């Protein structure tokens, strides 16, 4: 959430910045009407509250003297209804302003290029040289199906489209990738391994910005507790959301907390299932494992002091790059433009891995600095030793990396003419020493 001072005192300037960088249209006229009414009603409400307090003291004094209080009681009753109505209207106005504020995207960092979409992103550098094959390249679906390792038909029978069953050595390779990433980030990069819930509350989703804007992309569960059985049944009462990424529970660990300065930066990593409805991706990447309703990811989250968050962002991105380099996967690093960044981000680097079957780079990691945007929604703070006062932290998150897409990249980049797949050296210790799977 943006600083409410900007919304209250500089709505026109804020609207211009959002339009120029994010293409977002803020209705300033409606906002000004709400703000004007809020000020008027708030002043009147405070007047009535003060009057009520004054009269209450007067009633107490009269009673102490044994005098008649009926006239004063009648006066209090006379403005009591107005006070209730003013308080109720003030709540409605504040909720309307909060609804507008919660729908505003983060303002981009000054170093972010202005642009409309992915075509305006700026490449930072490339690592590795794509392999030259002397045989016809197969995509990950063909490679997996050839050995019965990757089975979309059975998954569709079980759950519907955009799910996959993995078997045998490919399932083990998938597991090996996750274990390798966790070990790298905990042993070499100093992240604390954290196991988090896959079901979270609406407050947690609001804290990181998934709600209310992206509700259609989330899977919800409905819990009926009336019978005491705990059975999941369809009711009208939403209970929990399946996480789209472990960024949500990891970041919300500091919700409503004041973190000691000595603990910052707080670095956490988690390997988890992720669930996305992919409501806006109809017809895109329907083949194989590129875009699934259920997938696994190793997530990186940092909670940092504001003055350290830019350096922490560069460090986090470098940690994700190291995963790809140790796996020997060619990739490129891209700075996203204002029109391609996520809702909560103020600056994002994407890492795109080379996929031979598509003859292009595809996203495998996004690393974002959200500034104090999420922290303000969560009221996540740290105590600044210089002032002794609580201040908002900065939150950062990144994929370190998406396990399924890493599996795809390994399969395609390490494929052999006979359909076998060479196991990258970094993974062989997790694969019982195997050099190939076939």
For residue 279, the model assigns a pLDDT of: 66
Q: Which long-range contacts (CB under 8 A, 24 or more apart) does 180-186 make?
A: 180/323, 180/326, 180/426, 180/427, 180/430, 181/271, 181/298, 181/323, 181/400, 181/401, 181/403, 181/406, 182/269, 182/271, 182/298, 184/322, 184/323, 184/326, 185/269, 185/298, 185/300, 185/319, 185/400, 186/269
Residues in binding site for L-serine: 245-247, 299, 399
- pLDDT per residue of the chain (438 residues) written in tens, 0 to 9: 999 999 999 999 999 999 999 999 999 999 999 999 999 999 988 888 888 778 777 778 777 778 777 777 777 777 778 888 888 999 999 999 999 999 999 999 999 999 999 999 999 999 999 999 999 999 999 999 988 899 999 999 999 999 999 999 999 999 999 999 999 999 999 999 999 999 999 999 999 999 988 999 999 987 665 555 555 555 556 679 999 999 999 999 999 999 999 999 999 999 999 999 986 666 667 788 999 999 999 999 999 999 999 999 999 999 999 999 999 999 999 999 999 999 999 999 999 999 999 999 999 999 999 999 999 999 999 999 999 999 999 999 999 999 999 999 999 999 999 999 999 999 999 999 999 998
Q: Please, what's the b/e burial string for 197-214 (b: 16 or more CB within 10 A of its CB; e: otherwise)?
A: eebbebebbbbbbbbeeb
Residues in binding site: 245-247, 276-278, 299, 363-366, 399
Q: What is the pTM of this model?
A: 0.90
pLDDT in tens, 202-213: 999 999 999 988
Residues in binding site for ATP: 276-278, 363-366
For residue 278, the model assigns a pLDDT of: 81
Please, are residues 284 and 291 in contact by the beta-carbon 8 Å criterion? yes
Catalytic residues: 276, 291, 363, 366, 405
Gap between the terminal Cα atoms of the chain: 50
- Name the one residue in this structure whose structure tokens are 């000054």: 110
């Amino acid at each position: 959430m943006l600083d409410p001072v900007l919304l209250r005192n500089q709505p026109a300037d804020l609207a211009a910045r959002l339009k120029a960088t994010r293409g977002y249209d803020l209705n300033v006229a409606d906002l000004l009407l709400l703000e004007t009414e809020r000020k008027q009603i708030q002043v009147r409400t405070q007047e009535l509250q003060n009057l009520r307090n004054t009269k209450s003291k007067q009633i107490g004094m009269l009673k102490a003297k044994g005098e008649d209080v009926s006239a004063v009681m009648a006066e209090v009753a006379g403005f009591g209804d107005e006070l209730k109505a003013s308080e109720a209207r003030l709540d409605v106005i504040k909720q309307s302003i909060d609804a507008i504020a919660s729908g505003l995207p983060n303002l981009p960092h000054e170093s972010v290029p202005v642009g409309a979409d992915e075509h305006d992103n700026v490449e930072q550098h490339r690592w590795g040289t794509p392999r030259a094959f002397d045989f016809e390249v197969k995509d990950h679906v063909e490679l997996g199906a050839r050995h019965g390792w990757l089975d979309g038909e059975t998954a569709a029978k079980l759950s519907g489209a955009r799910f996959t069953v993995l078997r045998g050595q490919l399932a083990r390779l998938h597991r090996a990738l996750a274990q390798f990433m966790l070990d790298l980030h905990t042993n070499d990069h100093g992240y604390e391994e954290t196991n988090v819930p896959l079901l979270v509350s609406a407050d947690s989703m609001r804290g990181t910005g998934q709600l209310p804007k992206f509700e259609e992309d989330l899977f919800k569960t409905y819990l009926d507790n009336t019978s005491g059985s705990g059975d999941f049944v369809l009711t009208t009462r939403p209970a929990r959301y399946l996480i789209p990424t472990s960024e949500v529970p990891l970041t919300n660990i500091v919700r409503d907390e004041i973190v000691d300065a000595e603990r910052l930066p707080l670095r956490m990593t988690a390997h988890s299932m992720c669930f996305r409805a992919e409501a806006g991706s109809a017809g895109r990447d329907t083949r194989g494992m590129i875009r699934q309703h259920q997938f696994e990811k190793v997530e990186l989250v940092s909670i940092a002091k504001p003055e350290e968050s830019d350096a922490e962002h560069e460090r986090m991105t470098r940690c994700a790059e190291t995963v790809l380099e140790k796996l020997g996967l060619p990739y490129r690093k891209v700075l996203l433009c204002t029109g391609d960044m996520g809702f909560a981000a103020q600056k994002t680097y994407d890492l795109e891995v080379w996929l031979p079957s598509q003859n292009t780079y595809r996203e495998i990691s996004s690393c974002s600095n959200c500034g104090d945007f999420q922290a303000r929604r969560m009221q996540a703070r740290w105590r600044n030793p210089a002032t002794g006062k609580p201040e908002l932290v900065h939150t950062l998150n990144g994929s370190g990396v998406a396990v399924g897409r890493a599996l795809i990249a390994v399969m395609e980049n390490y494929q052999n003419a006979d359909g076998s797949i060479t196991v990258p050296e970094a993974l062989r210790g997790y694969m019982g020493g195997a050099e190939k799977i076939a």
